[in-house]
Amino acid sequence: MFDLPSLLVPQQKYFGLSIGRNSLRAVEVKNGQVQTYAEVMLPEGIYQEGVVVDQTKFVIALKQLLSQGKFSTMYVVVCFSEFLAFNREHVLPVIADDEIHEAVSRRVKDLFPFPEADLYFDWKILDRNQAGIRVIVVAVQKKVLDSLITALQAAGLKPLSFEPGGGALAKLLALKNGQQALVVEVNRRGAYVTLLDGEKALFTTVVNYTTQDTPQTYFQNVVQNVNEISDYYKNKGVLKPEAVQLILTGEVATRDWAQELTKRIQYPVKILTSPLNNPAFNKAFAAASTTVAPPHDPQAINLLPPATQQLYDQERTQTFYRALIAQILVVMSVLAVSSLAVFLTVQLQKQNLENQVKVLTGKLQNQQAETQKLLLFNAQAKNVVTLSPLRKTPRNKIAAILSILPATIHVSQLDYDDNKLMFTISGLAERREELLAFKSKLEDTQEFRQITLPLGSLETPINIKFTMTLVSNL
């Protein structure tokens, strides 16, 4: 992946976006403080098996969210419903970090019940020892993520990262190795129960809340799913009761729910909070607080598709070169100011020398004519030597050209005829419109009395080889 100096290309600001079955929630954080947040409820029928099938309604909801939140950036870190993702733990032999992705790629078809071509996947190192490297591999179906990306980009957003909601909450919980949690996300239309072991999600189940259910049956179904997951993984020897706590989050994560769960569940119950003091925004806050790492980073999960990452790399490269050109122009400006200072100093010296010549001429008027001529000749010769640095040069004209030269026009040769005061520029323009615009800007500078661009240079619309002549004003 292309990496550039942060001095020239600063890190992008972003906000966190939680995409749920029935809602969109977003939070922007700066230095740990919430700057703004917003939520929009989604209408029915937007999803089908996790895929956004009604792009129009989804994009409208995203734009409403942006309008409410007035976020300072269009870059976004996204977490989506945990049940759409697949998690598998795998042990690799001891290999170098730059070989892990290839090794995982060879096993994807064995780890997940889908063809590798239908999945986006990423991995993260859990631990390593002499026996091998233990990684967690997370995957999502391409059709699910592609539908989200299409909608996000249609709304003008630029996603930097995708991660299941359970992974985002795990970062917010900051569970250490050996610590486990049953995360119960209770919403108005359903609930998720996720078992976390440290930073990895072992299992997620969905508890639906249908129109036929009462609040009591909904609560009982949640309790039943929590107990079933607990018993299953306890019997497998995975769940350690002494290390488990139940974390309550979501739209209806209230004290009443926590108190009732305490009566029915054997584990300590805690409501997950954030600076917003609204559990419904926990996922969005966790996403906003995440340090974004690129795909295939050994310490993070990012399911951003490779093609999207490549676009960001290209954009970052262009930003780098634009910043570099700007710095070059600043240096040239400093040089121009320095040259002006030198010019003024020389002018002052010239004036002093002229005064000295006048004094000498007056003293020598009474001497013989030949001696006077010789002395006068010598004084004039000194003036010529002193004033030679003041000879006109094309420096200012070159600076005028470079100051308006766009990044899409690449100059390969620049010649200057001192006798004709004529510049000849040769190069390659990416598009005909940009070459014509460059010629127009040169004419606007009024630095040149004649600018010639042969019509033959404009025959092709792109990748135009050109030669342009510019005759300087006196």
3-state secondary structure the chain: CCCCCCCCCCCCCCEEEEECCCEEEEEEEECCEEEEEEEEECCCCCEECCEECCHHHHHHHHHHHHHHHCCCCCEEEEEECHHHEEEEEEEECCCCHHHHHHHHHHHHHHHCCCCHHHEEEEEEEEEEECCEEEEEEEEEEHHHHHHHHHHHHHCCCEEEEEEEHHHHHHHHHCCCCCCEEEEEEEECCEEEEEEEECCEEEEEEEEECCCCCCHHHHHHHHHHHHHHHHHHHHHCCCCCHHHEEEEEECCCCCHHHHHHHHHHCCCCEEECCCCCCCHHHHHHHHHHCCCCCCCCCCCCCCCCCHHHHHHHHHHHHHHHHHHHHHHHHHHHHHHHHHHHHHHHHHHHHHHHHHHHHHHHHHHCCCCCHHHHHHHHHHHHHHHHHHHHHHCCCCHHHHHHHHHCCCCCEEEEEEEEECCCCEEEEEEEEEEHHHHHHHHHHHHHCCCEEEEECCHHHHCCCEEEEEEEEEEECC
pLDDT tens digits, 141-153: 999 999 999 999 9
Report the pLDDT value the prediction gives residue 290, as an integer from 0 to 100. Answer: 87
Burial class of residue 184, CB neighbours in 10 A (0-12, 13-18, 19+) = buried
Closest CA to 193 of 229, 140, 243, 244: 229
Beta bridge partners of 136: 89, 124
Report the pLDDT value the prediction gives residue 10, as an integer from 0 to 100. Answer: 46
Q: Under the phi-then-psi rule, with left for phi > 0, alpha for psi from -120 to 50, and beta for the rest, what region is 31?
A: left
- Report whether CATH 3.40.50.300 matches the domain 15-304: no
Map tokens 């729910």 to a residue: 257
Report the pLDDT value the prediction gives residue 6, as an integer from 0 to 100. Answer: 41
| CA distances (Å), origin 220, targets 15, 191, 210, 265, 312 | 36, 12, 13, 11, 47
Q: Which residues of the chain have pLDDT under 70?
A: 1-11, 313, 316, 319-320, 323, 364-393, 474
Strands 85-92 vs 132-141: parallel, antiparallel or unpaired: antiparallel
Phi, psi of 450 (to 5 degrees): -150, 130
Report the pLDDT value the prediction gives residue 456, as an integer from 0 to 100. Answer: 81
The CATH homologous superfamily for domain 394-474 is General secretion pathway protein M, EpsM (3.30.1360.100)
Report the pLDDT value the prediction gives residue 70, as an integer from 0 to 100. Answer: 96
Would the CATH topology of 15-304 be identical to that of 394-474?
no
Cα separation, 468 vs 23, in Å, equals 58
Strands 23-30 vs 33-41: parallel, antiparallel or unpaired: antiparallel
pLDDT tens digits, 349-386: 888 888 888 877 777 666 666 666 655 656 665 664 46
Q: Are 101 and 116 contacting, i.e. CB atoms less than 8 angstroms apart?
A: no
Closest CA to 150 of 314, 316, 308: 308
Find the Cα–Cα–Cα–Cα dihedral 317, 323, 324, 325, rounded to 10°: 110
Q: Are 468 and 439 contacting, i.e. CB atoms less than 8 angstroms apart?
A: yes
Domain residue limits, the chain: 15-304, 321-391, 394-474
Cα separation, 335 vs 359, in Å, equals 36
